[in-house]
């Protein structure tokens, strides 16, 4: 059973691209995820659409430091901003956190404003970049559409300003026995 997750982060007080993204994917999305630093209130009408966590710029009550989203018949997604886990340096700490949670298969983080799409062992690690204030070399505001299929993940990086796909990656869900042998 296919699932579609729309993942965004770090809009820092601007709502235009976030609203456009929700409208663009509303009919196909099973879940919207926000990795923090919206700077909007937790109970904001737009934010209520998202599984959301606290970034270092988010204030007020409601936000938690991390959240796990359970996708039935699949597993859990860990959502965390990452500012306490040195994500500018590496993703090691968030990966270790995720691996301590037995059902987590995907971790989504933010904070760097630089998109990141990779497998670490059998864990899918995603950062959608910033939907408003990019810091990567492309200089484009981005977000991610993740489609969970039977045997693989399809990750599409969207431009938030015009809604076009600028990069598509496919990752096998299962770790090959060879990789597994190297990881133990
Ligand atoms: Mn941040």
Residue-level pLDDT at 1? 80
Residue-level pLDDT at 83? 97
Q: Determine the Cα–Cα distance for residues 144 and 94; give it in Å rounded to an integer.
A: 19
Q: Determine the Cα–Cα distance for residues 109 and 125; give it in Å rounded to an integer.
A: 8
Residue-range definition of the domain harbouring residue 23:
3-183
Give the distance (Å) from ligand 1 centre to CA of residue 111: 4
Please, are residues 181 and 44 in contact by the beta-carbon 8 Å criterion?
Answer: no
Taking Cα atoms as reference points, which of 102, 104, 42, 95 lies closest to residue 68?
104
Q: How many domains does the chain have?
A: 1
Give the distance (Å) from ligand 1 centre to CA of residue 37: 5
Give the distance (Å) from ligand 1 centre to CA of residue 116: 15
Give the distance (Å) from ligand 1 centre to CA of residue 150: 33
In tens, the pLDDT along 85-129 reads 999 999 999 999 999 999 999 999 999 999 999 999 999 999 999
CATH code of 23's domain: 3.60.21.10
User: In terms of pTM, does the model score above 0.85?
Assistant: yes
CA 158 vs CA 30, 143, 152, 155: distances in Å: 17, 5, 19, 10
Give the distance (Å) from ligand 1 centre to CA of residue 168: 25
Residue-level pLDDT at 176? 53
């Amino acid at each position: 059973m296919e699932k579609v997750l729309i993942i965004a982060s770090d809009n820092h007080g601007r709502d235009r691209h976030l609203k456009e993204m929700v409208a663009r994917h509303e009919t196909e999305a099973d879940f919207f995820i926000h990795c923090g630093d919206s700077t909007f209130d937790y109970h904001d009408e737009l934010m209520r659409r998202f599984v959301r966590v606290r970034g270092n710029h988010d204030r007020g009550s409601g936000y938690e430091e991390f959240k796990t989203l359970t996708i039935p018949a699949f597993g859990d997604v860990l959502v965390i901003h990452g500012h306490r886990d040195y994500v500018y340096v590496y993703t090691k700490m968030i990966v270790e956190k995720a691996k301590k949670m037995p059902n987590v298969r995907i971790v989504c983080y933010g904070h760097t404003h630089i998109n990141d799409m990779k497998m670490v062992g059998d864990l899918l690690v995603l950062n959608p970049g910033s939907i408003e204030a990019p810091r990567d070399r492309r200089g484009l505001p981005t977000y991610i559409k993740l489609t969970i299929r039977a045997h693989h993940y399809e990750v599409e990086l969207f431009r938030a300003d015009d809604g076009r796909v600028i990069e598509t990656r496919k990752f096998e869900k299962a770790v090959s026995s060879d990789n597994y042998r190297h990881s133990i």
